[in-house]
Every structure is written in C-alpha cells, then in structure tokens.
C-alpha cells in the first residue's frame, strides 16, 4: 500500500520526509514539500505512532466483528504506557453512549491490561509481566459465543470472560482521535510510542484501506 503526502503536518514540527517519511492526517496539514512513503500496518514493516495527539490507525471492518472473529497485531516499544488497540461498537467521535460496547488491550507501566465494557459487564485485568522491552510481541483478541479470549505471544494470561458485546464496527490502533477520552482509564487515552505491524482480522490481512493519521514508516 502506497500512501502519498503532498503536505507537511504542522504538528510534526516540520520534520522532513527524508528523515521519517511522514504520512499526514487529512485534517491537520498545510501546504509544503511533497513526500511519499510505503505505509501498511498489515505488513512486516508496519507503522510508527507519532508523538503527537491524534496519531493512530483507524479501521472500519468490511463486516462487523461478531461472534467467532479475532483480531491481532504485533507491537514493539520501550515506553511504559500506551494503547495497542480498541475495538468499539460505535465510532467514538460520534458515539451515542459515553462508553459504548468495547474491548481494548493497552500497556500501563509496562504491564498488559485487558479492558472490556459490554452491556452490564465490565472489567479490567492486568498481567504482572512487563512488555516494554523494545522487542516484538503479538497480542490477539478472539470473540467466541458469549466469551472473549486474549493471547499474548500465543499464551493465555487470563481466563475467558463472559460478555455480550455488540458487534465491533470501529477499530483504533496505537491511539484515539484527538478529542476522544475513555473515562477512568488513563492508559487507554495515551498513544503508543512505538511500532505496530502484521495487523490481522480472522488471521488474514485486513480488507479495505485503514485511515492513517500522522503515522510514520517503522524502519
């Protein structure tokens, strides 16, 4: 997937294309030097989330993720806190509820946390192991009828929890839109200062084109 940037994002502090090959968010750009980059979160190269508000990859699945579906992504960071992904039943910028049905995996002080809010069921689980070692790790969330299962590096750190989430129509990777906040969970609201790659839904590369907002090639 080739993304072309014909503007320089003012919030990237005018870093040149030759240094980081930025992809500019459509809503935050000014006329400037043209540049191009190969950006694909489904590839082995992946993307780097920028150190700026609103940096993220956003994806709307071709088909809503209901029962018997999964999503996975690999991450690498040396920083302690940041969102890996959040899957929601609604677009968080136009949500009808303060906290729509959603699940998320994120790092808090290096520890993996699993957040879910589905109807009358919600919870927050934390692993003791730390994962901000600047090595690649794979996280996976699988929906099976009335349950959600999490794996990291092919290990199951938590038991399967019952939930009744509505199908997920929106997926946010690495960060949330600039004006969106999830009340009470600070780590969910912080972007990942690191890289994401090999994004999969049902174990295959995603269909369609994700929206890339102020991200870089991870090389």
**What's the rounded Cα separation, in Å, for the pair 87 and 100?**
10
SS3 of 19, please? helix
Residue 24 has pLDDT above 90, yes or no: no
Q: Write the CB contacts of 159 (distance below 8 Å, at least 6 apart in sequence).
A: none
**What's the rounded Cα separation, in Å, for the pair 202 and 21?**
30
pLDDT 10s digits, 146-198:
788 899 998 988 877 777 788 999 999 999 998 888 876 777 788 999 999 99
- For residues 66 and 172, the model is more confident at 172
pLDDT 10s digits, 205-216:
887 889 999 999
- For residues 146 and 116, the model is more confident at 116
Residue 188, CA atoms < 13 Å, CB-side half-sphere? 22
| Nearest residue to 122 via CA among 139, 98, 140 | 98
Task: For residue 97, name the pLDDT band (cuts at 50, 70, 90).
Answer: low
**What's the rounded Cα separation, in Å, for the pair 108 and 106?**
7
Concatenating the DSSP letter of every residue in 129-145 gives EE--SSS-EEEEEEEET
- For residues 7 and 187, the model is more confident at 187
pLDDT at 187: 77
Decide: 205 and 73 in contact? Cβ < 8 Å.
no
Instruction: Give percent of the chain with pLDDT exceeding 90.
Output: 44
Residue 202 has pLDDT above 80, yes or no: yes
Residue 11 has pLDDT above 70, yes or no: no
- For residues 95 and 64, the model is more confident at 64
Residue 34 has pLDDT above 70, yes or no: no
What is the residue whose two structure tokens read 């043209």? Answer: 34
pLDDT at 17: 32
pLDDT at 67: 82
**b/e for 72-99, b at 16 or more Cβ within 10 A?**
bbbbbbeebbbbbbbbbbbbbeeeeeee
Q: Which domains does the chain have, with CATH numbers?
A: 49-206 (2.60.120.200)
pTM: 0.81
pLDDT at 29: 35
Decide: 105 and 187 in contact? Cβ < 8 Å.
no
């Amino acid at each position: 997937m080739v993304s072309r940037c014909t503007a320089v994002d003012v919030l990237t502090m005018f870093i040149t294309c030759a240094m980081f090959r930025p992809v500019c968010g459509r809503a935050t750009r000014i006329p400037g030097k043209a540049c191009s980059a190969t950006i694909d979160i489904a590839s082995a190269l992946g993307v780097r989330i920028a150190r700026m508000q609103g940096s993220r990859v956003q994806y709307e699945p071709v088909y809503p993720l209901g029962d018997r579906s999964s999503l996975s992504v690999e991450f690498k960071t040396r920083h302690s806190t940041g969102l890996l992904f959040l899957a929601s039943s609604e677009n968080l910028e136009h949500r009808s509820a303060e906290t729509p049905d959603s699940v998320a995996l994120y790092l808090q002080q290096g520890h993996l946390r699993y957040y879910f809010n589905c109807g009358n069921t919600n919870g927050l689980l934390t692993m003791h192991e730390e994962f901000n070692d600047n090595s690649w790790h794979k996280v996976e969330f699988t929906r099976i009828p009335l349950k959600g299962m999490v794996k990291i590096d092919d290990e199951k750190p938590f038991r399967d929890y019952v939930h009744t989430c509505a199908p997920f129509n929106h997926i946010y990777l690495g960060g949330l839109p600039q004006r969106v906040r999830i009340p009470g969970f600070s780590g969910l609201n912080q972007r990942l200062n690191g890289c994401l790659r090999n994004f999969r839904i049902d174990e295959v590369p995603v269909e369609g084109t994700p929206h890339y907002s102020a991200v870089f090639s991870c090389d």
